[in-house]
Each structure stands twice: as C-alpha cells, then as structure tokens.
Amino acid sequence: MSPILRTWTFWIHASLREECRLHLEATKLPEMRSQPGNRRAAAVFRDLEDGATEVVVMSIWDSMASIEAFVGKDLLAPTIDPGDRPKLFDHEPQVRHYPMRSIDDVPAQLRKLGL
C-alpha cells in the first residue's frame, strides 16, 4: 500500500501568520498526528509580496481509508473550523491527494508543489 500525501492551501493576511502558526501547532497538527494511519503532519508558510501569507498544510497517511476514517466520506472537502473562516483571506476549494511510492518520496512531491 502506497502512502498518500494530502495537502490543502489557504491564504491569510501576513499579520495573522504567528497566530495561525501557533493555532496549527497547538490544535490541528497534533489532532492529525494522533490519528491512526497518519505518519506526519506539518504546515509551511510563505509570505507573499502583496501582504498575504500562503499556508500549506500537509499530512502523510497510510492510505485513503485512513484519511476517510479521519475526515469522513467527503475526502476532498477541507475542514475549516467556523471560528477560523473569517481569518482566511482565500482558500483552495478542495484538498489534494498525491500517491507516493514511499515515505522517502516526500522531497519529490514537495518539489512538484513548488515548495
């Protein structure tokens, strides 16, 4: 069974970067990491020249079944807490899934994402 890289991108105002980082590190990333079938979860931040910050949340899972056990049947829907919605400048409408040959394939997948 090949691991799955799951990504979702959203944009916030740069002034919210630290608040967002702390929130993700305190809540969302540990929640993902604690799920059966999750191998890793991380977020990367990139400041843009227009005053926005791009945030990519990435997680690696054993299978699509382990992702479904975490998020439910709608595998493409991003999960956004209602209290966080007003803070998002914009977001991708769907998450993305990338089959990987192995966990060692992460650098190649990140290059494809431009990260």
Domains and CATH numbers, the chain: 4-112 (3.30.70.100)
Which pLDDT does position 36 carry in this prediction?
97
Q: Which residues pair with 61 in a beta bridge?
A: 4, 38
Percent of the chain residues topping a pLDDT of 90 = 74
Query: Is it the case that residue 14 has pLDDT exceeding 70?
Result: yes
The answer to whether residue 99 scores a pLDDT higher than 60 is: yes
Tokens read off for 71: 């998020």
C-alpha to C-alpha distance for 99 and 1, rounded to whole angstroms: 10
The structure's pTM equals: 0.84
Average pLDDT, stretch 57-72? 95
CA distance 103 to 35: 17
d(CA 16, CA 10): 12
